[in-house]
A and B are shown apart, each in its own frame.
Chain A
Amino acid sequence: QVHLVESGGGVVQSGSSLRLSCAPSGFTFSHYAMHWVRQAPGKGLEWLATISYDGRNQHYADSVKGRFVISRDDFMHTVFLQTNSLRDEDTAIYYCAKDSDSSFDLWGQGTMVTVSS
């Protein structure tokens, strides 16, 4: 079965770091670009970051550029989002999504990050 499972969320203090992980299964991971999207409580969706299928290219939203880093390990079949210098406004559900011709055809259940000052 095809799915994505995120992990690594939690409750942290402002200024802290967390590494989020996304483990895919049921498809050839190394063939696809991958993305992170977040949703603050009661708010809409916000695209955060994209990494190309080969890991050579990354793109970021202005809100996280310089603080978050997307990476992938094709041997471990995992995509990561390293989140640094966390702020209150980073509190959200973080979703991993699989790329299909620049749309998101598979989403995980999400992992919750709560930043408390």
Chain B
Amino acid sequence: DIVMTQTPLSSPVTLGQPASISCRSSGGLVHSNGKTYLSWVQQRPGQPPRLLIYKVSNRFSGVPDRFSGSGSGTDFTLKISRVEAEDVGVYYCMQATHFPWSFGQGTKVEIK
């Protein structure tokens, strides 16, 4: 089974400053069809999760362009170019290349 490991688990950030979250998988995430099914979801306090990024670097509809995803192989990154107050919450990476699918532990982004 693929284990997803996120770092850091907590990220205090000053408003307007960048934030970066790393996600590492215990095995490669390239599917036999050549695609990499690595996505990022955001969960604001008291809310259900919502999709931010799919297939490593594709921003979902309505997601601000300050969010970006990158990576390949086993190492992936979510970046927020300038953190805003509404970005507070927990961020999860998820792999959907190999069953059973799996989430990272989550990274809490908070304002300093």
**Could you list which residues of chain A lie within 8 angstroms of chain B, going by C-beta atoms?**
37, 44-47, 50, 59-62, 95, 100-110
Contact = CB atoms under 8 A, between A and B. Distances in A.
Contacts of B55: 101, 103
Interface in B37-88: 37, 39, 41, 43, 48-51, 54-55, 60
Contact of B48 (A50, A100, A108): A108
A50 B100 CA distance: 10
Interface in B1-58: 1, 37, 39, 41, 43, 48-51, 54-55
Contacts of A37: 49
A45 B54 contact: no
Which residue, A95, A102, A108, has most C-beta atoms of chain B within 10 A?
A102
Interface of B: 1, 37, 39, 41, 43, 48-51, 54-55, 60, 90, 92, 94, 96-97, 99-106
A60 B100 contact: yes
Given A59-B99, A109-B48, 4 more contacts: A37-B49, A44-B104, A103-B55, A110-B48
A45 B51 contact: no
A100 B105 CA distance: 22
A104 B51 contact: yes
A116 B54 CA distance: 37
Nearest to A35: B101
Given A100-B54, A105-B51, A108-B48, A50 B101 contact: yes
A102 B96 CA distance: 6
Contact of A47 (B37, B60, B90, B103): B103
B96 A103 contact: yes
Contacts of A60: 100
A101 to B, nearest CB: 7
